[in-house]
Amino acid sequence: MPEPTQILATLTQIANAGIVLAALWHLVAAVAAVQLLRAWRPSRRWAAVSLLAPLASVSAMAFAYASYFNAVVAATLVLGLLVVALRLGDPPVQPGPTWSRLAGIGMFAFGWFYPHFLESKPWLSYAIVAPMGLLPCPTLAALIGASLWASGFGSKAWSLTLSAAGLFYALFGAIRLGVRLDLILGIGSSLLGMGALSSRQLGWSLAATTLGGVRRPSA
């Protein structure tokens, strides 16, 4: 495992060298958010698979800059979540209860504006080129935010896997690297995991989603 200073230097390099790619991910996310506000409701399978694209981007950037630990972890997470996503079925994505929608919006905003690693940039630039889609923590924050908003797509497997990954990176960032800001990721990860495990919610309300009057089981 490289020293914290080396890890931080590599993350800073990726964040600053990949600002064009980060801007493209912000544009894609903005278009998707606008469509959701206009009542667009993709299928759970399609939405979950699409969310894996920025995580795959994180893996590719990590490989390109020889950050092999992050590259392998992100790639493994993509493959594991892809297996889950392909089983989610065709019911449309539905917003969760009020608490999860608000928590989801907050976590997504945290990933969108993630205020770390950009060097000598005006603070307004974080609205456009913060390293979402480049680095693990802001990307996981955005994915966890989207999942909270959508009640984990009705899947405990999806929610718990993403929650575990978020908690790992939050603790690693805060304790090993000294990026205390990553504790916010830990809070969002915990909320996603607790929502999935809540017996009262029965694995989120979407576990009982029906389509055409037929009950479909959660993944």
CA distance 154 to 55: 20
- pLDDT for 214 equals 40
The predicted pLDDT at position 216 comes to 44
For residue 205, pLDDT beyond 60: no
The confidence score (pLDDT) of residue 204 equals 52
Mean pLDDT of 23-38: 93
pLDDT in tens, 49-68: 999 999 999 999 999 999 99
- Give the Cα separation of 138 and 109 in Å (integer): 9
**How far apart are the C-alpha atoms of 101 and 105, rounded to whole Å?**
6
Higher local confidence (pLDDT), 115 or 129: 129
Q: What is the pLDDT of residue 213?
A: 37
Instruction: Report the alpha-carbon angle 196-201-205, nearest 5.
Output: 90
| Burial state string for 62-87 with b = 16 or more CB within 10 A and e = fewer than 16 | beebebeebbebbbebbebbeebbeb
CB-side neighbour CA atoms (13 Å) of 97:
11
Mean pLDDT of 11-23: 96
Query: What's the rounded mean pLDDT across residues 66-72?
Result: 96
Would you state the pLDDT for residue 203? 45
Rounded to the nearest integer, the mean pLDDT of the chain is 89
- 121: buried, middle or exposed (CB in 10 Å: 19+, 13-18, 0-12)? middle
pLDDT at residue 137 above 90? yes
Give strand pairing partners of 92. 43
Question: According to the model, what pLDDT value does residue 207 have?
Answer: 41
Q: Give the torsion through C-alpha atoms of 9, 11, 17, 22, to 10 deg.
A: -160
pLDDT per residue as tens digits for the range 85-103: 999 988 999 898 999 999 9
What is the per-residue pLDDT for 212? 36
pLDDT of residue 122: 79
Residues facing 214 on adjacent strands: 211
Kindly list the domain boundaries of the chain, sorted by start residue: 4-215
Cα–Cα distance list, 42 to 45, 49, 80, 185 (Å): 8, 11, 21, 26
pLDDT at 54: 97
Q: Is the pLDDT of residue 37 over 90?
A: no
Range with the poorest average pLDDT among 32-36, 53-57, 108-112, 142-146 = 32-36
Q: Cα 73 from chain centroid?
A: 14
| pLDDT of 206 strictly over 60 | no
